[in-house]
Structure 1
């Protein structure tokens, strides 16, 4: 009888972890695009929004090779989360709310050419929440030292005990994990509403350098939008929000997250060189 070494024990444990989770991981095929997804709730599959085509049919390839049609329930490009609906009997994955420690081992379970695949890596960054370049609130900063193909975006990231702590996606020059807290929050809204509410001022803005800072010139105004109702006009220059000097147009737009809808803000404006102020109730961005 061969003695079990620490490495063989680790190898066996990792194989068991992958075997338990792989049946809940699927391939997602959309127009000239492929990714990985996992069953979040019965009949509902979470995948990476960035890897999902903008048009065309969506097909799901199951772990046993079967294929089913899927419909897009909703998608949020700011957090890279998309929710699909498909008629399957696959058991959902139980997501753990824990954030793995720096240096912890992680197993990524995905699909590759419609077959289950797995990769072993290490948590290279584990930190506080952050905001994506597209303005999405991500509840924890988790990066993995692991290689990920484009078809494996949307895969499950597991800790050494086999608990899934998020969805692995491709970031700029690194593999990021969208953590459980973000998935549960965003997917729940997509399931209920099909979209994520975003704040809306109804303004087209252009950065403008001023002698004493940075402003945002109003280039166009939605006549039915909140800013127009408050009296903002084309040509106005926004210089401060709630008595805080404007740091840039992008910074202003990033404040218009889901929690901003219904909030009243004070906009300090220069109109024809003269100061003015307006109270604007942030609306909800209409669907395109």
Structure 2
């Protein structure tokens, strides 16, 4: 009896996946540092990502909050002080300046605008003190929102099943090309595979404002939104035939600007003063500091009904 042919294997696919992950790690891993924050009564640790040759580091605001001194350690063992340039608790992003002797490896801060569920996601950080740990999974969803300690929701989060643990906060979430697509921020305790990172485009927005103004001044409507597809017939009815996504209100702050304007949870915002609102990231860009106190026309959908309401954005007090 002739031997049966061997079944096909997954080796080529696995090898390609392994090559993609290892290549991404070799690009990003050297730029992920361990961040130690000293407080009066205790210490805390997290991760950070070096994103410029002059030592700019992105991390989480909650990693550095209240710290009396900050120190970082690179994967090559070098230790050096870091200085807080600014933080934005509303997005949980902080910007640091590394005061290292000699150049540091740099990671490329990519774009999160085109992310799709199912893409490879690679997390690199220092979970539970284990330096430069790598986990991998996929982008599970984009445009998520979570409540923050200050009450305002943290928006434009990437959901991933790449394992994150305490100490990963502020570390890199990278794509298979070795670009940083997010800054790791949160895990839901007790859940399996529910981890979150601040989208790279939001981190870049915070970075630019901190470098320019030293802080982030942002207008808010008092809502948390999720990116949802908009049926073509409804977009056409609203006069926006080319728009395929909108920002659905998932949570509404009582007595906030949106609530005062008559908007409700479930309404889908399509535009603010003519600027397309295709998700949380678009809203964050539209609601810049100059809009505080200035009435804005909001185009939205409630079911099949087209709404036009006027809301006056407030200033988000949790930034700083």
TM over 0.5: yes
1:164 aligns with 2:180: yes
For these two proteins, the number of residue pairs brought into alignment is: 230
SS of 1:150's equivalent in the other structure is coil
- The Cα shift of 1:71 comes to 1.1
Matched, 1:56 2:68: yes
Q: 1:97 aligns with which of 86, 99, 111?
A: 111
Aligned in 2, Cα 1:189/1:241: closer, same or farther, shift over 3 Å? Answer: closer
Q: Relative to 1, partners in 2 of residues 1:132 and 1:184: Cα closer, same or farther, differing over 3 Å?
A: farther
Moved over 3 A (4+): 128-138, 240-243, 245-248, 256-260, 280-288
Any gaps of 5 or more consecutive residues in structure 2?
1-10, 221-252, 266-286, 297-311
Tell whether the 8 Å contact from 1:33 to 1:53 is kept in structure 2 after alignment.
Answer: no
Q: Deviations over 1:229-270 (max 9, x none)?
A: xxxxxxxxx9x989735979xxxxxxx9735325259xxxxx
Is the 2:90–2:319 Cα contact (8 Å) retained in structure 1? no
**CA distance in structure 2 between the partners assigned to 1:241 and 1:105 by the alignment:** 36
**How many angstroms does 1:94 deviate by?**
1.5
Counterpart secondary structure, 1:181: helix
Cα deviation 1:182-221 (Å, max 9, x = unaligned): 0110111112222111459xxxxxxxxxxxxx996xxxxx
The question of whether the paired residues in 1 share the 8 Å contact of 2:165 and 2:187 is answered with no
* 1:6 alignment counterpart: 13
Structure showing greater radius of gyration is 1
Pair 1:111 & 2:126 matched: yes
CA distance 1:287–1:64, shift in 2 (3 Å): closer
SS of the residue corresponding to residue 167 of structure 2 reads helix
Aligned CA RMSD, in angstroms, stands at 3.7
- TM-score normalised by structure 2 residue count: 0.61
Are the structure 2 counterparts of residues 285 and 144 from structure 1 closer, same or farther at C-alpha, using a change threshold of 3 Å?
A: closer
CA contact (8 A) 2:289 2:315 kept: no
Mapped pair 1:135 → 2:135: no
Answer yes or no: is the 8 Å Cα contact 1:35–1:150 preserved in 2.
yes
Offset of residue 66 of structure 1: 0.8
Q: 1:45 aligns with which of 45, 52, 57?
A: 57
Partner of 2:94: 82
Give me the TM-score of the superposition, normalised by structure 1: 0.67
The CA distance in 1 between the partners of 2:117 and 2:158, in whole Å, is: 9
* Residue in structure 1 matching 2:216, options 196, 219, 224: 196
Shift of 1:147: 1.9
Q: Cα offset for 1:130?
A: 5.1
Kindly state the Cα deviation for residue 23 of structure 1 after the two structures are TM-superposed.
1.2
Cα distance between partner residues in 2 of 1:52 and 1:23: 21
Match of residue 23 from structure 2: 16
SS in 1 for 2:208: helix
